Amino acid sequence: MNNKIIYEAIYGWFKDGKKETLISDPNYQAIPAGYIEDNEGVLLIASENTEIQSVVKMKMPQLEELISILATSKI
């Protein structure tokens, strides 16, 4: 199954270029980000040949819940 992902990072004052890629069998991971005591991370979507890492920090429990939803989703 191929999934087309379009990703655009918006940093407030400026935007990063849009990334568009096809990802087969995506893997979702929580990558720790920031200070340890903040317990935050970012989402990594990866496959054999490509990966996209979000710049949006989320609390780890919420990020793990999002990953669970994405992993079981048929979207």
Number of H helices, E strands in the chain: 1, 6
Which own/partner contact pairs does 10-17 have at CB distance under 8 Å and 24+ positions apart? 11/55
pTM for the model stands at 0.78
Is residue 1 very low, low, confident or very high in pLDDT (cuts 50, 70, 90)?
A: very low
- Smallest CA-to-CA distance from 67 within 39, 47, 44 is with 44
| Type of residue numbered 70 | L
pLDDT digits (tens, 9 = 90+) for 10-67: 777 777 778 788 888 889 999 999 999 999 999 999 888 888 888 889 999 999 999 9
Tokens representing 46 are 């990866």
Tokens representing 16 are 């990063």
